[in-house]
Amino acid sequence: MPYAWQPVCCNIQVAILSMNYRLLCYLLMSLTLSGPAPAGDADGYTQQRMELMRIIEQDVRETSAYLDAETLDPRVMKALAKVPRHRFVPDSQLRHAYRNRPLPIGHGQTISQPYIVAIMTDLLKLTPADRVLEVGTGSGYQAAVLAELAQQVYSIEIIEPLGKRARDLLNKLGYDNVETRIGDGYYGWETHAPFDAIIVTAAADHIPPPLIAQLKPGGRMMIPVGSRFMTQQLVVVEKDSNNNVTTRLILPVRFVPLTGDH
């Protein structure tokens, strides 16, 4: 649940024709999404979602040196274009629902910045057959995006009111491939392990060994590492077929801390 990442180059101007072309592409993409639109996804938000897609795309280009890519997987962008972010924010934040920034959701937590959700999801390299563990359900927004891309999502939230609210909303929106529970995500969810991918949405001062153990050979984990008051780094953790683990730093970020008794 990060604070906003500010790209180094924030003032790059995109040509009007190019902008219109990209907006048209995303509009057409949204019209071809499989299945019915999520409940409550009012037409009044469609233009805001498409503008957000353009902004995310621009931020990806501006941070391509960190990401080693200038574009994200079209499946990831399609998922973000489909998920109704306004359903996951408090009523007091509705006017900001499609701004590219985190928003408060209560209990000292935030709904993640869409750009961060996009790149973390993209770096997991999900397939439709994957089973994913999310540590930190929060608002449920990241879980919904994962559910558009993977076969099954298991999500853990340590703050009970947030976890229950996210569970009820995800069920209401029809995300029946998301299972949630209240608990300390540091220890993972051993009953459903191993996982093809793991995503942690709060910063830890180290990579939790239980999560490494529950990552399937060939799997990937995304986790911000660092303390609240020091530089945090978004890290990709990969486990090969021989259970050897490697890590790669992606870019500096700022997340709320991972809490629990560990």
Question: Does the active-site annotation cover 241?
Answer: no
Contact between residue 137 and residue 107 where contact means Cβ atoms under 8 Å apart: no
CA proximity to 141, closest of 115, 109, 166: 166
| CA dihedral (199, 126, 40, 59) positive or negative | positive
Each residue of 101-127: b (16+ CB within 10 Å) or e?
Answer: bbbebeeebbbbbbbbbbbbbbbbebe
- 178: nearest Cα among 140, 204, 216, 207: 140
Rounded Cα distance between 140 and 148, Å, is: 13
Q: Helix, strand, or coil here: 109?
A: strand
Among 112, 139, 155, 227, the active-site one is 112
Backbone angles phi, psi at 130, to 5 degrees: -75, 150
CB-based burial of residue 15 (10 Å sphere; 0-12 exposed, 13-18 middle, 19+ buried)?
Answer: exposed
Positions marked active-site: 112
